[in-house]
Amino acid sequence: MRAVPGYQVENTLYESARTLVLRARRRSDGAAVILKVLALEHPTPEEARAFSREYEIAREASSPGVVEIYGLENHGHSLLMVMPDAGGVSLDRLVQRGRPLELQATLSIV
């Protein structure tokens, strides 16, 4: 698990070759947050631009189905997005539990 200055990382929610999604607490106020971090500590300029663009698109989207973005922060030579933590569980984790989802649970996702 990667250390992130200013945050107490609690666990990794998702990991790919491009990004990490971490559950954390902001040290300044104790707020529960989700951090989306570029996986590479030294991303290419193209990767950094794409991540910044993703942030801009998400920030401009205003809809009940879109997670609010608190901000984009520098993280060493990389970037991270900060979002509120609603306490949810990722869909891939629900499916990995080995049991089919109940109808009501499936409908609540859709």
Cα–Cα distance measured from residue 74 to residue 82, given in angstroms and rounded to the nearest whole number? 11
H/E element, 21: strand 19-26
User: How high is the pLDDT of residue 110?
Assistant: 56
pTM for this model (two decimals): 0.82
Cβ pair 9, 26 in contact under 8 A: no
H/E element, 55: helix 45-60
Q: Could you tell me how many residues make up the chain? A: 110
Q: What is the pLDDT of residues 9-23, one digit of tens each?
A: 999 998 999 999 999
Who's near 66: CB < 8 A, 6+ residues apart?
Answer: 58
